[in-house]
């Protein structure tokens, strides 16, 4: 935007600034520093946008400035609208303001994206869903619609399960990407109301049993591309997910992310062949991550990685990765996934995970029945180079060699682990050894750590009452501390947390 403004008014260069190559897509983000950018917003609305409005085909806006930007021009060629920092209350007002969403906008917009990453006030699921439906009804010719969130679990999601089947009906919609509350909402949207839908990408954030409800189970012949990401642990694979896939007889591209809870055996290549592939004869691409939690009443011999690999003989699977996590004698977690690994999350890996490089993973949960030694964290950093969020689930203490000299800064031949992108660590279900492992700079470097979920007593011990130099550097950028067990210890900790040492130790903390 600075470049465009500098060119407007300059002979010849001003014409260049108005060229379509610069103005097809305009991205307006005034959220970083409002006091400075208000002047920039005024200049653009009053000087630049009126000159380039007829070239604009796509606008990327956030809700607090959307009103000003859309009023500044006619945008007769605008067909694509992307909204981030979505606030349902602001959008609800916009949908009823004819001065803002004029009749031409109602008919022009064919591609609408809503990124629900707003961290302020959030409405209920019903309120958010009602605004969403009103919005979709307002734009009459939408063909491509996306409603997702950056951190889905923190945002309001959509739910259609208690609404009439005449709600959210469209014969124009071709592609839908959406975040919903539970699997029943997914089935609602595939009951025939979106009869021209060819691409459906859905994220499910809550596990709920909808097996007692009746849904339309007719075939979905127009669906060519389907992506299902089931975020919570679920037992819906056999009785809900597989029957749904059988309805998609013309499916060509399938993406499946699911973690299956309490199953007698893992979902391997043979089961995927029988459950899915033989029913989808036109399938060309199958991308998946399937985690199976197996549990038996008696000790079992876990399968090896080679045993699992041999079950994936069909060429449609492509290259396969697998790993098993042996929690105890009767509980094993199996992971099977297509390579390269495309998903941002992976859960419950342990000491036996493969040395595959997971370039896309930013969120990870590690869990095991045996300790995580220092070498494990070295491998973890190498295999997950862009890791941002880590959850540690392990109550086993590290070995003497790995945890020795806990209050000594000398660790001999230990390789210092560096997590260059890690911003959040959860120690809620972790032994204190792992707090020491991650916060002691002689073992681990966390230059971008901003969030800790931790027991107050653990933090106090490892930091030596917030005075220890060895853990100071990794804590210096922490902005958010969640003392999950504080409520169990009365008010003493909250009073002590106001001490001078505490505040000096966490100078970046946002209280």
| Interval 466-498: pLDDT, tens | 999 999 999 999 999 998 754 444 445 554 555
Euclidean distance between CA atoms 118 and 294, whole angstroms = 38
Instruction: Please state the separation of Cα 307 from the chain's center in Å.
Output: 32
Q: Could you give the angle at the alpha carbon of 354 between the alpha carbons of 352 and 356, nearest 5°? A: 155
Q: What is the DSSP string of 70-92?
A: HHT---TT--EEEEES--HHHHH
Indicate the burial class of 13 (C-beta count within 10 angstroms; 0-12, 13-18, 19 or more): exposed
Rounded CA separation 81/75 (Å): 11
Which backbone phi and psi does 288 adopt, to 5 degrees? -155, 155
* Angle 166-171-173 from CA coordinates, rounded to 5°: 105
Task: For 191-259, give the secondary structure using H, E and C.
Answer: CCCCCCCCEEEEEECCCCCCCCCCCCCCCCCCCCEEEEEEEEEECCHHHHHHHHHHCCCCCCEEEEEEE
* Nearest by Cα to 122 from 173, 87, 72, 172: 87
For residue 350, cis peptide bond before it (omega within 30 degrees of 0): no
- Give me the tens of pLDDT residue by residue for the chain, a chain 511 residues long: 556 555 555 554 445 445 555 456 766 655 554 444 677 778 888 888 888 888 889 988 887 778 888 888 888 899 999 988 776 666 666 666 655 566 677 889 999 998 876 554 456 788 788 888 887 888 889 999 998 864 444 456 899 998 988 899 999 999 999 999 999 999 999 999 999 999 999 999 988 877 778 888 899 999 999 999 999 999 999 999 999 999 999 999 999 999 998 888 889 999 999 999 999 999 999 999 999 998 877 666 777 888 899 999 887 888 999 988 888 777 889 999 999 999 999 989 999 888 899 999 999 999 998 999 999 999 999 999 999 999 999 999 998 665 554 445 444 557 899 999 999 999 999 999 999 999 999 999 999 999 999 999 999 999 999 999 999 999 999 999 998 754 444 445 554 555 788 989 999 998 6
Q: Which two tokens stand for residue 351?
A: 């000491």
DSSP character string of 260-325:
EEEESS---HHHHHHHTGGG-TT--EEEEEEEEEEE-SS---PPPHHHHHTT--SGGG-SEEEEEE
Instruction: Enter the DSSP assignment of 384.
Output: -
Q: Strand 331-338 relative to strand 285-295: parallel, antiparallel, unpaired?
A: antiparallel
pLDDT digits (tens, 9 = 90+) for 267-279: 999 999 999 999 9
**Could you tell me the pTM of the whole model?**
0.85
Cβ–Cβ under 8 Å, residues 459 and 452: yes
């Amino acid at each position: 935007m600075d470049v465009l403004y500098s060119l407007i008014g300059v002979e010849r260069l001003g014409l260049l600034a108005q060229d379509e190559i610069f103005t097809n897509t305009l991205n307006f983000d005034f959220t970083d520093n409002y006091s400075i950018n208000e002047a920039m917003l005024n200049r653009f609305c009053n000087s630049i946008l009126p000159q380039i409005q007829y070239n604009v085909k796509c606008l990327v806006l956030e809700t607090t400035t959307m009103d000003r930007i859309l009023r500044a021009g006619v945008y007769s060629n605008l067909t694509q609208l992307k909204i981030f920092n979505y606030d349902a209350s602001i959008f609800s007002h916009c949908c009823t303001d004819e001065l803002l969403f004029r009749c031409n906008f109602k008919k022009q917009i064919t591609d609408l994206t809503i990124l629900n990453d707003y961290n302020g006030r959030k409405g209920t699921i019903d309120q958010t869903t009602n605004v969403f439906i009103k919005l979709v009804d307002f734009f009459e010719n939408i063909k491509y619609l996306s409603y997702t969130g950056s951190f889905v679990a923190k945002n309001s999601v959509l739910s259609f399960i208690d609404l009439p089947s005449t709600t959210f009906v469209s014969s124009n919609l071709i592609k839908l990407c959406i975040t919903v509350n539970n699997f029943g909402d997914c089935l609602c949207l595939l009951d025939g109301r979106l009869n021209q839908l060819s691409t459906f990408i859905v994220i499910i954030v809550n596990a709920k049993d909808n097996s007692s409800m009746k849904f339309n189970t007719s075939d979905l012949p127009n669906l060519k591309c389907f992506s299902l990401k089931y975020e919570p642990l679920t037992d819906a694979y056999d009785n809900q997910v597989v029957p749904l896939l059988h309805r998609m007889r013309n499916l060509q591209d399938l993406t499946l992310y699911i973690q299956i809870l309490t199953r007698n055996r893992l979902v391997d290549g043979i089961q995927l062949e029988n459950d899915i592939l033989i029913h989808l004869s036109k399938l060309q691409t199958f991308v998946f991550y399937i985690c199976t939690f197996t549990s038996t009443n008696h000790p079992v011999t876990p399968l090896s990685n080679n045993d699992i690999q041999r079950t994936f003989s069909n060429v449609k699977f492509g290259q396969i990765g697998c790993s098993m996590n042996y929690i105890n004698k009767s509980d094993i977690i199996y992971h099977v996934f297509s390579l390269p690994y495309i998903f941002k999350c992976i859960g419950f890996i342990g000491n036996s995970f493969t040395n595959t490089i997971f370039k896309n993973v930013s969120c990870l949960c590690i869990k095991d029945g045996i300790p995580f030694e220092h070498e494990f964290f070295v491998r973890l950093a190498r295999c997950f180079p862009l890791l941002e969020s880590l959850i540690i689930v392990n109550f086993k203490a590290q070995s003497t060699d790995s945890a020795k000299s806990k209050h000594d800064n000398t660790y001999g031949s230990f390789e210092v682990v560096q997590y260059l992108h890690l911003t959040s660590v959860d120690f809620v279900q972790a032994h204190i050894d792992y707090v020491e492992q991650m916060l002691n700079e002689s073992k681990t470097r966390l230059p971008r750590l901003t969030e800790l979920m931790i027991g107050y007593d653990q933090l106090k011990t490892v930091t030596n009452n917030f005075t220890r130099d060895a853990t100071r550097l990794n804590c210096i950028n922490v902005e958010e501390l969640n003392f999950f067990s504080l409520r169990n210890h009365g008010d003493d900790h909250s009073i002590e947390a106001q001490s001078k040492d505490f505040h000096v130790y966490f100078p970046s903390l946002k209280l």
